[in-house]
């Protein structure tokens, strides 16, 4: 099961890297293994070149496992608070990132697929990355949303599967790109 989960996350990272969402060592990915544990990327690795030894298993009670991504608390808080979430993607996407930089959300009503498929979007006010406070803010402000825009930081998508979380991220980034283009056209 763990090996299959690694392969799913490696493929997810390749898709999101191709979309320009993973500069340098940015981003982190996880999948829920059971009620107590999740598989998450290690800190400091290039997500576009993920290998099978770039993951670690962390218990949901662990504050910050040594090898785990520095955003473990973000993942941990979401898994603990939301039983429907089985996969979490965190990236620094260029077009959604423009909205995040200004602390804004794209207009989900601009595209019907976004409205239907994203599971809602929520803006999370700026909180220092890598803190448990960011995880708590993602739970409080994210509510039941499928996509969370972290102000001045990046994007989180969640899903019942890796496939759903990746598709939500791709669709949200596409929505952001379309809105930026549409705003230019409308000037």
Where on the chain is the footprint of Zn ion (CB under 5 A)? 154
Closest contact distance (angstroms) between CB of 129 and Zn ion is 6
- Are 58 and 72 in contact by the 8 Å Cβ rule? The answer is yes
Shortest CA distance to 81 belongs to which of 145, 131, 128? Answer: 145
For Zn ion, which is the closer residue by CB, 111 or 150?
Answer: 150
| Nearer to Zn ion (CB atom), residue 146 or residue 154 | 154
CB of 153 to Zn ion, least distance (A): 5
Residue whose beta carbon is closest to Zn ion: 154
- Cα 63 from chain centroid (whole Å): 19
Provide, rounded to whole angstroms, the least separation between the CB of residue 150 and Zn ion: 7
Q: 44 vs 181, which CB is nearer to Zn ion?
A: 44
Measured distance CA(137)–CA(53) in Å, rounded? 31
Residue 130: CB minimum distance to Zn ion, A: 8
Tokens of 96: 């959604």
- Closer to Zn ion at the Cβ: 131 or 160? 131
Please state whether beta strands 154-159 and 55-59 pair in parallel, antiparallel, or not at all (unpaired): unpaired
Determine contact, residues 58/73, Cβ cutoff 8 Å.
no
């Amino acid at each position: 099961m763990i090996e299959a989960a690694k392969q799913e996350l490696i493929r997810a990272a390749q898709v999101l890297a191709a979309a320009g969402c993973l500069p340098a060592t940015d981003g982190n990915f996880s999948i829920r293994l059971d009620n107590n544990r999740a598989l998450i990327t290690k800190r400091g690795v290039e997500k576009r070149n993920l290998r099978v030894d770039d993951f670690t298993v962390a218990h949901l009670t662990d504050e910050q496992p040594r090898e785990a991504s520095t955003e473990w608390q973000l993942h941990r808080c979401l898994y603990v608070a939301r039983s429907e979430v089985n996969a979490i993607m965190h990236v620094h996407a260029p077009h959604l990132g423009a909205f995040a930089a200004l602390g804004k959300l794209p207009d989900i009503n601009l595209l019907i697929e976004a409205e239907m498929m994203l599971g809602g979007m929520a803006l999370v006010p700026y909180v220092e990355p890598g803190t448990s406070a960011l995880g708590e803010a993602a739970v409080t402000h994210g509510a039941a949303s499928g996509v969370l825009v972290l102000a001045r930081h990046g994007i989180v998508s969640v899903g019942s599967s890796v496939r759903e979380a990746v598709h939500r991220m791709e669709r949200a980034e596409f929505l952001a790109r379309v809105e930026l283009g549409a705003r230019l056209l409308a000037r």
